[in-house]
Structure 1
Amino acid sequence: MSKLTHIGGDGTAQMVDVSAKGDTVREAHAEGIIRMAKEVLDAIKANAMKKGDVLATARIAGIMAAKKTSDLIPLCHPLEISKVAVEFEFLKDGIRAETMVRLTGKTGVEMEALTAVSTALLTIYDMSKAMQKDMLISDIRLLSKTGGKSGDWTAE
């Protein structure tokens, strides 16, 4: 088993020192789904929610979340992100969100992509909860990552 990178010699948590690593282009994609009743989905599609444009707001929330990941997840490095994209796909019973985060740097952006998709879905829930409280957020996962020492990875 490899040495844990976030645990110091004395057993305390530590941020990994990436200062000796070279900069590479890194990109990560994540996805998640929010399931809801047809009436809620139809209202979102029609831009008829009382709180405003649900998907536009969720897109902005996802972008903001990617930029703030190091404030939310312990031991994540603050990053100079060069691109965040948040896209939505209507399903018959919900909405699928997919995020992409890119930078040129010393550490990956997987957590930023996952934080972005989670926050986008939570924003959809928040803006729609007046119509339905039991929406289900699920299937949040990393789809792919590129760059860095560990190379490229894609989910099956």
Structure 2
Amino acid sequence: MTKQPSNDTPKDAENPNLTHIDATGAAHMVDVSGKSVTTRTARAGGRVRMAASTLATILAGNAKKGDVLATARIAGIMAAKRTHELIPLCHPLPISKVTVEFTPLPDLPGIQIEVMAKVNGQTGIEMEALTAASVAALTIYDMAKAVDKSMIIEGVQLLEKTGGKSGDYRAPIE
């Protein structure tokens, strides 16, 4: 087994080691106590592809389970707040803001999801944004599966992040 560097070793192109693995190869939660508190944001997105009739049902508010987008928005926000309970080794964060927005895409057809999460903390908030986008998509699927079991969740990705030691990131435009 190759010896892994300590948690203090910087990551770069010549040292692509994972920070959640210690010198013995065991998983551990990264110690962020020495990091500065900074404002950090992340935007994540994804899509739910569906039949045009399903999109029309959702937008008209006629889904049998209720308001699909309102429920998916709440589910996304709740998921962001509970990410540390769902993803191993994630830190619990004092999230200051989460927004979940939906854009109907008639030409797809489907719904675009975009999440923005913000924290003043010592570690990033990308996982919270990605978890929120994923759970919002799953909630749309759950709420509309009675009329369309062939929906596809796709393209869940980090769109942008700001703050922290690694700097800003913006996903390449497709």
Corresponding residue for 2:23? 9
Cα deviations by residue, 1:107-143 (Å, 9 ceiling, x for unpaired): 0000000000000000000000000101000011100
Cα deviations by residue, 1:39-58 (Å, 9 ceiling, x for unpaired): 11001010001100000000
Letter matched to residue 115 of structure 1: T
Q: How far apart are 1:4 and its partner, in Å?
A: 2.5
- Does residue 139 (structure 1) correspond to residue 159 (structure 2)? The answer is no
Corresponding residue for 2:168? 152
Alignment of 1:93-108 (within 5 A): 93-108=109-124
Corresponding residue for 2:5? none
Give the alignment's TM-score, normalised by structure 2: 0.88
- Partners of 1:103 and 1:129 lie apart in 2 by 34
For the pair shown, which has the larger CA radius of gyration, 1 or 2? Answer: 2
C-alpha RMSD of the superposition: 0.7
Alignment of 1:109-148 (within 5 A): 109-148=125-164
Corresponding residue for 1:79? 93
After TM superposition, what 4+ stretches of structure 1 lie above 3 angstroms from structure 2? none
Percent of residue pairs identical = 62
Letter matched to residue 75 of structure 2: A
- Does residue 90 (structure 1) correspond to residue 104 (structure 2)? The answer is yes
SS in 1 for 2:95: coil
Q: How far apart are 1:85 and its partner, in Å?
A: 0.2
Higher relative contact order (CA 8 A, sep 6+): 1
Letter matched to residue 21 of structure 1: K
Alignment of 1:17-96 (within 5 A): 17-92=31-106, 93-96=109-112
Ranges in structure 1 where 5+ consecutive residues have no aligned partner:
none
- Partners of 1:66 and 1:41 lie apart in 2 by 25
Ranges in structure 2 where 5+ consecutive residues have no aligned partner:
1-13
Would you say how many aligned residue pairs link Structure 1 and Structure 2?
156
Cα deviations by residue, 1:25-64 (Å, 9 ceiling, x for unpaired): 0000001000111111001010001100000000000000
- Partners of 1:56 and 1:106 lie apart in 2 by 31
